[in-house]
A and B are shown apart, each in its own frame.
Chain A
Amino acid sequence: MSARIAAPVVMGIVMLVLWEAVVRVAKIPPYVLPGPILVARTLIDDWGMLAPALVVTLEITLEALAAAVIVGGLLAILFSLSRWVELSLFPYAIILQVTPIVAIAPLIIAWANNVDLSLLICAWLVAFFPILSNTILGLRSVDHNLLALFELYSAGRWKTLIHLRLPAALPYFLGGLRISGGLALIGAVVAEFVAGTGGSASGLAYRILEAGYQLRIPRMFAALVLISAAGIAIYLLLSLLSYLLLRRWHESAISPEG
């Protein structure tokens, strides 16, 4: 366990020191490549501007993720209850998934006529498919003998769904959720780039664009660090949630020692 934490930390420190050394020795100007110390200082100095941007991006990400959970989860349940609904709708869900978000973002922005709403829709479009497809897989991956048992006790569709299909689908859903968490952030950032929103309530992507125009490369890096940190935090939180829900019974959450 200690090696699992120590190895990447040591690796990270080595890379940062190397980066700083290369920048100093080769005298690379900060508008080409700022060293990690300068990036850290910029992060602190520009915190007053970057923190609200981080909040904006995180809000869109979390709202999109929540919408993905609700729509993806409900659609999966609906599909599992009705073969016809699934046959009619699933191909369109795939079409939405395979269409690059960058290509349809301008359309959505034009149609939605509201920047926040269009960003939310874009992030949601990217995020909902893994939850949908994983949950469908989970709802179908039920032990057929358990299904027979529920039939024997005349459980009916709803009781079978609640007491059998949903718990059986939970590990699959949580796997989808972890993927969707990262995708929601990517969707939010990409949509923001396409939208190029201005004004006070602008997210990190806009700060990166703006810093690029102004050749404030250290600030670009600082915003990038925040996006990465947000992505890692989302992943860790969702992994923790998954662990807490599954640790009693699912193989994926049980440590080998027992």
Chain B
Amino acid sequence: MPLVSVRGVSKTFANGVQALDGISLDIEAGEFLSVLGPSGCGKSTLLRLIAGLAPPSAGAIDWPAGKPDIGFVFQEPTLMPWATALANVALPLKLGGVGRSERDARSAEALGHVGLAGFERTWPRELSGGMKMRVSIARALVTAPRLLLMDEPFAALDEITRHRLNADLLALWERSRFTVVFVTHSVFESVFLSQRIAVMAARPGRIVSDLAVAAPYPRTEAFRTSPDYAAHCRLVSGHLAEAMAA
């Protein structure tokens, strides 16, 4: 039984642009799925539909076991500049009516999980881009959601920071095994992270291939230079090139 079943979903915006056309996708519980595609292919729109932030124009999004708690990470850190790192992470708990002391304890723990223990009282403007993104991930995970939606979260970061965050995200996922839907336009990132890659084509957005990445976890930096990794990248690149030509 999948966690979420996207069935024949299309999305046409009010201005007449068709963003998605007949998307069908079953996402299993605990799975790490990347949605890979060129910019403008509607992958962010798909994520927003799954999150329930916008309704599909046609088709349905089913939750066979009920809709779980969802965490969302945007491309920008999207922190509240008037709140400390701790208060930013605590936001979902605060909105959910969790009491102050429990909220602070759980938020401090979540900050610890993303490697920011001791940064509770710092303000967003004092943090680097990578650290802000860590706070954003801690905020998404603080409610212990069963589904984490990530919209090109590391696209704006430098490569060194991106690799570290990739590794840290995988470590968090391997420990808690929440379901991840990770939107990216990077072949290398999608192969490094995921068990499965859905390749999308643009105008209108549709899924053209559904590929498995069979490499075992934990995936270390050594995986990035392995022949297995290179072979997968070549395969996925080929599918992406086909998608862009289609």
List chain A positions with a Cβ less than 8 A from chain B.
Answer: 143, 145-146, 148-155, 159, 163-164, 167-168, 170, 248-251, 254
Contacts and interface: CB of A to CB of B under 8 A. Distances in A.
Interface of B: 48, 51-53, 70, 72, 74, 76, 78, 80-83, 91-92, 94-96, 123-125
A155 B53 contact: no
Given A151-B53, A152-B72, A153-B96, A254 B82 contact: no
Nearest to A170: B82
Given A145-B74, A249-B124, A150 B48 contact: no
A170 B74 CA distance: 24
Contacts of B74: 145, 148-149
Contact of B82 (A154, A159, A249): A249
A249 to B, nearest CB: 5
Nearest to B74: A145
A254 B82 CA distance: 13
A152 B80 contact: no
A159 B95 contact: yes
27 contacts: A145-B76, A146-B78, A148-B48, A148-B51, A148-B74, A149-B74, A149-B78, A152-B51, A152-B52, A152-B53, A152-B70, A153-B91, A153-B95, A159-B95, A163-B94, A163-B95, A167-B82, A167-B83, A170-B82, A248-B123, A249-B82, A249-B83, A249-B123, A249-B125, A250-B82, A251-B125, A254-B125
Nearest to A160: B95
From A151, A153, A159, name the one whose CB has the most chain B CB atoms within 10 angstroms: A153
Contacts of A148: 48, 51, 53, 72, 74
A155 B95 contact: yes
A159 B92 CA distance: 12
B185 to A, nearest CB: 18
A147 to B, nearest CB: 10
A149 B91 CA distance: 10
Closest A-B pairs by Cβ, 6 of them:
A145-B78, A153-B95, A167-B82, A249-B81, A145-B74, A155-B95
A249 B82 CA distance: 5
Given A248-B82, A249-B123, 14 more contacts: A143-B78, A145-B74, A146-B78, A148-B48, A152-B70, A153-B92, A155-B95, A163-B95, A164-B80, A168-B82, A249-B125, A250-B81, A250-B82, A251-B125
Contacts of B96: 153
A155 B93 CA distance: 11
A253 to B, nearest CB: 11
From B76, B94, B95, B125, name the one whose CB has the most chain A CB atoms within 10 angstroms: B95
Contacts of A254: 125
A153 to B, nearest CB: 4
A229 to B, nearest CB: 34
B115 to A, nearest CB: 22
B150 to A, nearest CB: 13
B80 A146 contact: yes
Nearest to A251: B125
A167 B78 contact: no
A154 B91 CA distance: 12
